[in-house]
């Protein structure tokens, strides 16, 4: 058996742990061979490969990023893309493909599966917004990075009696904002699922100053005001049709300062959230996903994605997992009302 492996979309701490789990189990238990496809779907589309064997995965467990490289290439948007992917898989005598990615990468995997490609998915995204799995790896690392940043921002906010706005990732879902905001004791948490009322945010901010305390406002990059529009970086779209986000934090600080008269500054955590070494939890989860993805290939259970449910690793149909985004339920967000303002 010869298995192709690729990592697509935004990189994520734990990708290397998945790759290592796949290769170690595949080679040592089943004598499988591997071929690494470079830079997400660009690899099978443009026939870009690299050697993927046990020596290639030595020492990569704690390393961030991905040894295979990543991109947001979408073969479904390229003329003859599906045909070219199939031809290149055949050229390398690939019997099965393991695609590690988020909604976009796995959406392509689901389509290729319908087109007869033998593919198994592994869910990846720091945003934790993939349906069908309780958690994706990378999320825990991102939350820890944001929480540490919020902890640090509290002391400088208090020293200067400023409002500090922290912008974190989260395009469609506010999981990072909510988890890190609660863990870091933020006073306002704004998420994409719940359009915010600017007057209410300003009331919360002023309330904090009244009790002699400097407020921390955590805002997900995809959060939007109840009146107004999504703030974007520019008008450009990626191959999956997504706008480039970021900017809501800066905009919000300007509005808060203008409306309350309190000095407000912004910290955009950006790609720091995705870089560097994964937490122990993410290494654990990523390793288990890798091992179970090889089992799914062995069982011929194609068109599925490995997923975490409780403490079990299960398999979910790729088409179901990519059909909708997993967002923060309003009742979960409401649980934390007591901490706002």
If DSSP states are collapsed to H, E and C, what string results for 167-188? EECCCCCCHHHHHHHHHCCCCE
Q: Which is nearer to ligand F6P, 102 or 303 (CB)?
A: 102
C-beta closer to ligand F6P: residue 275 or 341:
275
Cβ 272 vs Cβ 145: under 8 Å: yes
Q: Which is nearer to ligand F6P, 97 or 169 (CB)?
A: 169
By CB under 6 A, tell whether 10 contacts ligand F6P. Answer: yes
Q: CA 113: distance to chain centroid?
A: 23
Q: Which residues on neighbouring strands pair with residue 164, listed in sequence order?
A: 216, 265
CB of 171 to ligand F6P, least distance (A): 4
Rounded to the nearest 5°, which phi and psi values hold at 123? Answer: -75, 130
Q: What are phi and psi of 130, to 5 degrees?
A: -85, 130
Written as six digits, the tokens of 320 are 């179901």
Q: Closest by alpha carbon to 30, among 10, 54, 14?
A: 54
Fill in the DSSP letter of residue 100: E
338: helix, coil or strand?
helix
Rounded CA-CA distance 68/61 in Å is 14
Q: Which one of residues 14, 21, 44, 170 is an interface residue with ligand F6P (CB under 6 A)?
A: 170
Kindly state the smallest distance separating residue 170's Cβ from ligand F6P, in Å.
6
Distance CA 24, CA 154 (A): 44
Burial group, residue 253, by CB count within 10 angstroms (0-12, 13-18, 19+): buried
User: Among the candidate windows 123-131, 185-193, 259-267, 311-319, which touches ligand F6P by CB under 6 A?
Assistant: 123-131
Minimum gap (Å) between residue 18 Cβ and ligand F6P? 15
- Min dist CB 221 to ligand F6P, Å, is 6
Residues taking part in catalysis: 127
Closest-by-Cβ residue to ligand F6P is: 10
Site for ligand F6P in 198-237 (CB under 6 A): 221
Q: Does residue 107 belong to the site contacting ligand F6P (CB under 6 A)?
A: no
Question: Between 171 and 190, how does the x/- string for binding to ligand F6P read (CB under 6 A)?
Answer: x-------------------
The CA dihedral of 170, 173, 174, 175, to the nearest 10 degrees, is -90
In angstroms, give the least distance from the CB of 311 to ligand F6P: 25
CB-CB contact of 175 with 52 (8 Å): no
State in angstroms the smallest separation of the CB of 205 from ligand F6P: 25
Distances, alpha carbon 332 to alpha carbons 133, 175, 318, in Å: 17, 11, 26
Query: In this complex, which beta carbon is closest to ligand F6P, that of residue 78 or of residue 243?
Result: 243
Does residue number 162 form part of the binding site for ligand F6P (CB under 6 A)? no
168 is a contact residue toward ligand F6P (CB under 6 A): no
Which residue among 201, 245, 285, 307 contacts ligand F6P (CB under 6 A)? 245
Give the one residue of 5, 15, 106, 126 binding ligand F6P; rule: CB under 6 A.
126
169 near ligand F6P, rule: CB under 6 A: yes
State the number of binding residues for ligand F6P (CB under 6 A). 11
Near ligand F6P by CB under 6 A: residue from 9, 14, 64, 303: 9
Site residues, ligand F6P (CB under 6 A): 9-10, 102, 125-127, 169-171, 221, 245
């Amino acid at each position: 058996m010869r298995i192709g492996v690729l990592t697509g979309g935004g990189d994520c701490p734990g990708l290397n742990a998945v790759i290592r789990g796949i290769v170690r189990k595949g080679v040592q238990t089943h004598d499988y061979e591997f071929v690494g496809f470079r830079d997400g779907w660009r690899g099978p589309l443009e026939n870009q490969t690299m050697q993927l064997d046990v020596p290639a995965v030595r020492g990569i467990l704690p390393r961030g990023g991905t040894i295979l490289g990543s991109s947001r290439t979408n073969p479904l948007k390229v003329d003859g893309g599906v045909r070219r992917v199939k031809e290149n898989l055949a050229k390398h005598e690939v019997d099965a493909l393991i695609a590690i990615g988020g909604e976009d990468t796995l959406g392509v995997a689901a389509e290729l599966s319908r087109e007869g490609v033998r593919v198994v998915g592994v869910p990846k995204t720091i945003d934790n917004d993939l349906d069908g799995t309780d958690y994706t790896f990378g999320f825990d690392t991102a939350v820890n990075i944001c929480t540490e940043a919020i902890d640090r921002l509290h002391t400088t906010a208090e020293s200067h009696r400023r409002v500090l706005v922290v912008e974190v990732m989260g395009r469609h879902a506010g999981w990072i904002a909510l988890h890190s905001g609660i863990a870091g004791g933020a006073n306002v948490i704004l998420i994409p699922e719940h359009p915010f009322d600017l007057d209410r945010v300003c009331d919360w901010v002023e309330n904090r100053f009244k009790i002699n305390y400097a407020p921390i406002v955590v805002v997900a990059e995809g959060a939007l005001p109840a009146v107004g529009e999504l703030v974007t970086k520019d008008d450009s779209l990626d191959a999956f049709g997504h706008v480039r986000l970021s900017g809501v934090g800066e905009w919000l600080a300007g509005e808060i300062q203008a409306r309350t008269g309190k000095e407000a500054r912004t910290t955009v955590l950006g790609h720091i959230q995705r870089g560097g070494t994964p937490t122990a939890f993410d290494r654990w989860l990523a390793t288990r996903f890798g091992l179970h993805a090889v089992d799914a290939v062995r069982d011929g259970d194609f068109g599925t994605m490995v997923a975490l449910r409780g403490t079990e690793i299960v398999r979910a149909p790729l088409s179901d997992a990519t059909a909708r985004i997993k967002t923060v339920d309003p009742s979960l967000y409401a649980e934390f009302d007591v901490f706002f303002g």
